[in-house]
Structure 1
Amino acid sequence: MMSKRAQLNGKAILEKDFKTTMRGYSQEEVDEFLDIIIQDYDAFNQEIVRLQQEIEKLKKTTPDLQQTRTRATQQNTQVNYDVLKRLSNLEKEVFGKKFIEADE
């Protein structure tokens, strides 16, 4: 599920000014907390970029994998057919002789 785009970035958080009041929060604590938030935003953005690059890389390799799988399936089908043919011939040879011997 895709969420809507983030409304903030590190620069917007850094440049945000708050009104000061007589009994407001400690400006130093707020600044320290906002610094942590900015670092988290930057880390998340870097991870998003990395994941998007990985997605693009995987999209490019997917057709190659599908072609490889198709070729492998075709080769396996041929091998399976050959094995079944040999098995059939072997059954005819072994059981055919048994049936002939039983009739005699």
Structure 2
Amino acid sequence: MEKNIVLDIDTILNKEFNIDFKGYSPIEVDTFLDMVVKDYDGFQQLILELKNQIAFLQNANDGLKERVVDLEMKLAQSEENNANQSPVVSNLSQVDILRRIARLEQEVFNRK
């Protein structure tokens, strides 16, 4: 972006113009160049602020990317743990159901 900028504040401020017989008014040229210098100064300040903001946002983005990776790893680990525990829970539930059925059958047959 800065590679396209040819002029800077000092170049504009120190520029000398040749005054011809029918040339421009030196006061008018100086006034105009003062406005251009102020604009360039504002542009340089804006560029510096934007560069700082970009750096800040890139650092924040990098931190968030690290957090996403960390959370994805924790999620995968949690899903793996849940997958390993699901059959055990199902087996326990089936064992409990079988025990209940057995008890009910005993009660039914004992009553007869």
Coarse TM-score class (shorter-chain normalised): 0.5 to 0.7
**Gap regions ≥5 residues in structure 2:** 91-112
How many pairs were matched up? 86
SS state at 2:40 partner: helix
Q: State which structure, 1 or 2, has the greater radius of gyration over its C-alpha atoms.
A: 2
Tell me which residue corresponds to 1:9.
Answer: 8
Q: How high is the sequence identity, in percent, across the aligned residues?
A: 32
Query: What is the identity, as a one-letter code, of the residue corresponding to 1:30?
Result: V
Q: CA deviation at 1:5?
A: 3.5
Which moved further from structure 2: 70-79 or 28-37? 70-79
| Partner Cα separation in structure 1 for residue 6 and residue 67 of structure 2 | 43
Tell me which residue corresponds to 2:95.
Answer: none
Q: CA deviation at 1:60?
A: 1.7
Give runs of aligned pairs for residues 15-94 of structure 1, distance below 5 A.
Answer: 15-73=14-72
Normalized per residue, the structure richer in helix is: 2
Q: Displaced runs of 4+ in structure 1, greater than 3 A?
A: 70-79
| Partner Cα separation in structure 2 for residue 63 and residue 56 of structure 1 | 11
Q: CA deviation at 1:4?
A: 2.8
Tell me which residue corresponds to 1:100.
Answer: none
